[in-house]
Structure 1
Amino acid sequence: MTRSAPHPDLPDTRRDAPFTVRDAVIDLLRRFGMTSIFANPGSTELPLFRDFPADFRYVLGLQEAVVVGMADGFAQASANASFVNLHSAAGVGNAMGNIFTAFRNRTPMVITAGQQARSILPFDPFLASTQATELPKPYVKWSIEPARAEDVPLAIARAYHVAMQEPRGPVLVSIPVDDWDRLAEPVPLRTVSTATRPEPQLLEQIGAALDACDRPAFVIGGAVDRAGAWDDAVRLAERHRARVYVAPMSGRCGFPEDHRLFAGFLPAMREQIVERLGGHDLIFVIGAPAFVYHVEGHGPHVPDGASLYQLIDDPGVAAWTPVGTAVVGNIRLGVVDLLARPAPKLRALPAPREVPPRAVPPMPSAQSVRMSVAFALQTLAELRDAADIVVEEAPSSRSTMQRYLPITRSGTFFTMDSGGLGYGMPAAVGVALAKPGTRVIALIGDGSAMYSIQALYSAVQLNLPVTFVILNNARYAALQEFAPVFGFAATDPVQGTELPGIDFVALAAGMGCPGVRASDAETLHDVLREALDARAPRLVEVVVA
């Protein structure tokens, strides 16, 4: 039996061969620009990779969490959904931590998971995924196991469009192993809108309130950079001469940290947010929740006398915002519409924030056993080009990084919105893959590194210009520093937080990645410079206090 006539938008290169589910999916992925397949192989997925197309790239991760982390970084840096292939229930289970992070990061991702053959599913066979569509919930936007094999291509097409529609996120399609060789029809080419324009009447309310206020504050979230609204947000802040804060726990930076109006980073604590925003009579939250909290708090959500407005791409977030007015829609379109209004009266520039963005830390003394994190990051800042991309997963060092390693350009900073570890190292690989030739710096804590150390192998095999900087303080410092919030005395031990004896240079060598340990402040500059200049995978283990 020969395949049916192809859709006019599809190349017809195999008229004499049957057109299968596999053929339809490959053609579909090619048209969606998803020719990089992030995967860890399993038996129930093998038919997809038979006669692998020459224009496709298989990106191997040695563990499924690494696979999804790489796909997350790739999708964010490329602004297109990534394609992931996992192995049945076990593979999805291994990947769930980074699927959770992708969901919180609003990362578009089409995840396919292998399933046993349809004919033996009633017998609960080995490697079958029971309730496959329920397994990743609630951290996928949509999931399906198509009722018929010939429906798989259409299911993947729908999955792509769902993943790309704001708020973006991961989706999952479970595919039985015997579906790939069944006959299928090509999927017609379609264009589907991915963004909606915010409601004009509500934007007019926000614009009028901005014009009338005296002391506005902007709170910028990761959706600003995701939507390509960095420059527009800067213009809007300059027009209204608003102080600009970065939202708590933001996975991306949406405003230059060396700008005159930049006022710093908000903590994830209600009372401290209210204190930091005190004195402002209008707070405009752009592309972020209002607000992300990490611990229980009390009292008002905004300072007395201040009104709250929000522009957000996620209706679910708008629904739980506790006070004020929220408008839902694409961030860039909303900001552009606000900029299209007549210019307001010019108000005075706010006073500069009291704390300077950076202060040079002293060189450790000869008696110091270890250098400070501040010294290490100041040294890195001196060597880093503003166009270099930083992927960070060093929670206990984040506040220090924010002071000593400022982000000043769009698309040059990524971290996780979720708080789940194991994202940073593979995400750096994915970012580098999406940005050929761009230097990527993975700034990782020692505890974080051990969640997905296998990412080093992928970086080496792909020969990517990633420098992995491991800040090794031999502990889960974030937990030790957070313990007093839950009643620990300053000297109380926190069980399970000490990490002695990990040799990151040896681990890197085992996966083919050259590495060096920097425990001497006097040599750190040269060590980092050599690693960055290599423009190839390198690991620098920095021993810090």
Structure 2
Amino acid sequence: MTTVREAVLDLLRAFDMTTIFGNPGSTELPLFLDFPSDFDYVLGLHEGVVVAMADGYAQARRNASFINLHSAAGVGNAMGTIFTAYKNRTPLVITAGQQSRSILPFDPFLHSAQATELPKPYVKWSCEPARAEDVPLAIARGYYIAMQPPCGPVLISVPADDWSRACEPVEARRVGKLLRPDPDVMAEIAGALDAARRPAFVIGASVDRDGAWDDVVQLAERHKAGVWVAPMSGRCGFPEDHRQFMGFLPAIREKIVSMLGGYDCIFVIGAPAFTYHVEGFGPHLPPGAKLVQLTDDPQVAAWAPVGTAAVGSISLGVRELLARASPPARELPAPRAPLPRAEPSSPMSVAYVLQTLAEVRDPASIVVEESPSARPVMHKYLPMLQSETFYTMCSGGLGYSMPAAVGVALAKPQSKVIGLIGDGSSMYSIQALWTAAQLKLPITFVILNNRRYAALTEFAPTFGFKPEDPLAGTDLPDLDFVSLARGHACQGIRVSDPAKLAGVLREALASPVPILVDVEIA
């Protein structure tokens, strides 16, 4: 026999999960009695920051992260980033403290009345074990569920007095994954690609998540397909300087149909077909086009409005297609028109800032982005060229990427991480600067400061706003990011002169500790 605490710690060692992300409360303290020397505790100053850090860490390591939250209050604070982790398909094992079992009948202070219901529907599974002895089994089950594609968060509620109870040890098991797509459906997809005169690939976040970058490039080259990125993709799955790269699809039905016009077979790989953000009308595909899809998410396959879908591993599915005979000869699609250079101005344009960042950064550096209004410009002026060098949120919920940059930097200590964050986005999770500073992580936070929620201003015409119409609640004057950085023990510098931008960025990117660069833009 052992204790629940020791059994859980042994399981975490076996699962290679010896970093715990949390913000502790009273009901969690028994877990940390005699905290073991082979574990690390990463403290976040808000539960939303905690989950986003763990999300970035899990994605970069390709393994679940372990999180400890405080009862209902902590889970409630974290729900925004739990939602994002669910949309990101990130494996997380979340434990939430609960009051001692003996006082639960009396609705004690800081208990969670319906602990398993609170995080739903944005966890794959949740459980409060019926007995203390069952806690290690529940955590093991949660890990296996979290790691099954499509991956995602799980939550286990643990009463405070459970950790010291006696239990039997639980041995970590090897749990395989049902991954191979249906061979008959894959044969149909292969036939459609071979029969196409002008195929297009639409690449989603699951390509990079499943390690299929190189295979997808090879398959696209074999078929001479034009390659697009799916709307709202949280990862990059294709080199954006490639001859066959065509660009990014918007989350608007009519525009997707227009941009894919002329293609007769559209192969959606690791993405929904399609993610929409505004109401649309008419067909989902151009006239005469056939849609085929490879996804690791059966729900995505089920709600796709058209086409044939195979469900399974992106990597295995693409390799199966590569194993087939070569398709008929085709011509390459016409290349994209070259972009004009962005010129310096005062205040600087987003295009000039991102063009400069692209020129001074190492292409192997990792960009963790959350600046919704700047993303279309980033797609043009800050291309992603290598696998696992881009992360953002698939949910649209703000507050993810600044702490996620901390998690990615923890997981990849030899890589330079750039947090490219809007001024509005940064204020959802500015506390992440403190953790980055305490851990001395080499992150360069670049704040694109336009003093407003610019994405709302740009989106307003969709709902009938005219340029001259006032838009309440979108101005953000008087935020001093240099002072905010210093207040979190992080270096900060402001730049408004375009002639100084490249030098400031070079110096910041060379820093071995975190630094914030506040860039004033138009």
Is 2:253 the partner of 1:270?
yes
Aligned partners of 2:59, 2:184: CA distance in 1, in Å? 31
Residue 344 of structure 1: CA displacement?
1.4
Counterpart of 1:285 in 2: which secondary structure?
A: strand
Is 2:61 the partner of 1:78?
yes
| Corresponding residue to 2:182 among 181, 185, 199 | 199
Structure 1, residues 143-188: CA drift from partner, whole Å, max 9, x if none?
Answer: 0000000000000000000000000000000000000000011112
Residue 491 of structure 1: CA displacement?
1.1
The residue type paired with residue 240 of structure 1 is H
Is 2:342 the partner of 1:361?
yes
Is 2:149 the partner of 1:166?
yes
Is 2:324 the partner of 1:334?
no
Q: Identify the residue that residue 293 of structure 1 maps to in structure 2.
A: 276
Q: Identify the residue that residue 406 of structure 1 maps to in structure 2.
A: 383
Residue 535 of structure 1: CA displacement?
2.4
Q: Identify the residue that residue 116 of structure 2 maps to in structure 1.
A: 133
Q: Identify the residue that residue 241 of structure 2 maps to in structure 1.
A: 258
Aligned partners of 1:437, 1:206: CA distance in 2, in Å? 40
| Corresponding residue to 1:501 among 478, 481, 494 | 478
Is the 8 Å Cα contact of residues 433 and 485 (structure 2) preserved in structure 1? yes
Aligned partners of 1:454, 1:398: CA distance in 2, in Å? 23
Please list, as runs of the form range in 1=range in 2, the aligned pairs for 1:343-492 lying within 5 A after superposition.
Answer: 343-353=326-336, 355-356=337-338, 358-364=339-345, 368=346, 370-492=347-469
Aligned partners of 1:32, 1:194: CA distance in 2, in Å? 16
Aligned partners of 2:177, 2:475: CA distance in 1, in Å? 46
Q: Identify the residue that residue 302 of structure 1 maps to in structure 2.
A: 285
Aligned partners of 2:99, 2:291: CA distance in 1, in Å? 52
Is the 8 Å Cα contact of residues 140 and 172 (structure 2) preserved in structure 1? no
Is the 8 Å Cα contact of residues 4 and 165 (structure 2) preserved in structure 1? yes
Residue 215 of structure 1: CA displacement?
0.3
- Number of equivalenced pairs: 522
Counterpart of 1:534 in 2: which secondary structure?
A: coil
Aligned partners of 2:396, 2:171: CA distance in 1, in Å? 40
Please list, as runs of the form range in 1=range in 2, the aligned pairs for 1:154-193 lying within 5 A after superposition.
Answer: 154-193=137-176
Aligned partners of 2:365, 2:422: CA distance in 1, in Å? 19
Aligned partners of 1:375, 1:125: CA distance in 2, in Å? 56
Aligned partners of 2:426, 2:182: CA distance in 1, in Å? 44
Structure 1, residues 376-428: CA drift from partner, whole Å, max 9, x if none?
Answer: 11111111111100000000000011100000100000000000000010000
Is 2:221 the partner of 1:238?
yes
Aligned partners of 2:375, 2:340: CA distance in 1, in Å? 16
Q: Identify the residue that residue 538 of structure 1 maps to in structure 2.
A: 515
Is 2:227 the partner of 1:227?
no
Percent identical residues: 70
TM-score by length of 2: 0.99
Range 184-193 or range 416-425, more displaced: 184-193
Structure 1, residues 60-95: CA drift from partner, whole Å, max 9, x if none?
Answer: 000000000100000000000000000000000000
Unpaired segments of 5 or more residues in structure 1?
4-18
Aligned partners of 1:315, 1:187: CA distance in 2, in Å? 31
Residue 343 of structure 1: CA displacement?
1.2
Is the 8 Å Cα contact of residues 15 and 172 (structure 2) preserved in structure 1? no
TM-score by length of 1: 0.95
Aligned partners of 1:195, 1:76: CA distance in 2, in Å? 20
Q: Identify the residue that residue 127 of structure 2 maps to in structure 1.
A: 144
Is the 8 Å Cα contact of residues 25 and 156 (structure 1) preserved in structure 2? yes
Provide the aligned C-alpha RMSD in A.
Answer: 0.7
Aligned partners of 1:79, 1:360: CA distance in 2, in Å? 37
Please list, as runs of the form range in 1=range in 2, the aligned pairs for 1:23-62 lying within 5 A after superposition.
Answer: 23-62=6-45
Q: Give every structure 1 segment of 4 or more consecutive aligned residues whose post-TM-superposition deviation is greater than 6 Å.
A: none
Is the 8 Å Cα contact of residues 85 and 112 (structure 1) preserved in structure 2? yes
Is the 8 Å Cα contact of residues 150 and 296 (structure 2) preserved in structure 1? yes
Aligned partners of 2:162, 2:299: CA distance in 1, in Å? 36
Aligned partners of 1:223, 1:185: CA distance in 2, in Å? 38
Is 2:95 the partner of 1:112?
yes
Counterpart of 1:29 in 2: which secondary structure?
A: helix
The residue type paired with residue 299 of structure 1 is G
Residue 189 of structure 1: CA displacement?
2.8
Structure 1, residues 231-269: CA drift from partner, whole Å, max 9, x if none?
Answer: 000000001000000000000000000001000000000
Aligned partners of 1:492, 1:174: CA distance in 2, in Å? 49
| Corresponding residue to 1:525 among 484, 502, 515 | 502
Residue 196 of structure 1: CA displacement?
1.1
Is the 8 Å Cα contact of residues 245 and 265 (structure 1) preserved in structure 2? yes
| Corresponding residue to 2:306 among 307, 311, 323 | 323
The residue type paired with residue 289 of structure 2 is A
The residue type paired with residue 359 of structure 1 is P
Aligned partners of 1:167, 1:214: CA distance in 2, in Å? 33
Please list, as runs of the form range in 1=range in 2, the aligned pairs for 1:1-12 lying within 5 A after superposition.
Answer: 3=1
Counterpart of 2:380 in 1: which secondary structure?
A: helix
Residue 195 of structure 1: CA displacement?
4.5
Aligned partners of 1:84, 1:189: CA distance in 2, in Å? 19
Aligned partners of 2:515, 2:307: CA distance in 1, in Å? 48
Structure 1, residues 280-339: CA drift from partner, whole Å, max 9, x if none?
Answer: 000000000000000000000010100000000000110000011011001000000111
Residue 347 of structure 1: CA displacement?
1.1
Q: Identify the residue that residue 79 of structure 2 maps to in structure 1.
A: 96
Aligned partners of 1:194, 1:181: CA distance in 2, in Å? 34
Is the 8 Å Cα contact of residues 439 and 535 (structure 1) preserved in structure 2? no
Counterpart of 2:328 in 1: which secondary structure?
A: coil
Aligned partners of 2:172, 2:155: CA distance in 1, in Å? 21
Aligned partners of 1:500, 1:194: CA distance in 2, in Å? 51
Counterpart of 1:143 in 2: which secondary structure?
A: strand
